[in-house]
Structure 1
Amino acid sequence: MVTVKQARHPGLEEMTLVAVMGALSDPIRVGLVRVLADGRERGWGELRAPVAKSTLSHHLRVLRDAGLTRTRQEGTRCFVELRREDLNARFPGLLEAVLEVARGDDVGAHVGVTDDSNRT
């Protein structure tokens, strides 16, 4: 039997403004949040960014460690989703403000999914 290591996700009370803002300080990570803002869970293989897969994995880990996303593993595949409800409960209005400005300034627009018609 293979043991799968489960990713650790910070609880609501562990999420800090400094960690969330630090995670959002990179355009790739803002782009990932924009993609995930549609509420759909995405497989890591669906995500497209102009970086190596290992770098994309790093960005996804930073988002998870800050509490912005939730990751789950199913067999050999990993899936990620935005923790919108948790973020809104901990930091009311922050996520929508970031998304609005990111869209207006086109921050992270170079990040998408395999089917770009679903891009935010």
Structure 2
Amino acid sequence: MRIMPRPARLASRAAAVVLTMAAVAGGTVTATAAPAGVSGQHQVQAKAHTIPNFVQYNGVNVRTGPGVQYPRVDIVYRGQGFNVYFCSNGHDNRKWCLGDLWGGRTRVWIAQDYINTFRP
């Protein structure tokens, strides 16, 4: 096992965080880094992956953030496709998923209780 010097480890972790954040944002990212103590530059590309889901009920609220305290921007109905980037706990102790509606809004949140990978 090769142990990297501390500055290189920190730079590597920072690059991983940046790439993860960019992947969550849904874009393809090209990052160039030259950590201290490492010669040359490294190029990495990351593409965010989504998981197709479907709304399971009628009249489901679509929000700008992960919780009921965020504004509703749309209402969707059973069968609506929703590509999920990731899910996380909201401030209301529910799980919320960030994704893109098929043929509609992008980067919106839906409570996980209302979506599933199975088409209704």
Looking at secondary structure, tell me which structure has more helix per residue: 1
In the superposition, the TM-score normalised over structure 1's length comes to 0.23
Which of these two proteins has the greater Rg computed from alpha carbons?
2
Greater length-normalized contact order (CA 8 Å, ≥ 6 residues apart): 1
The TM-score normalised by the length of structure 2 is: 0.23
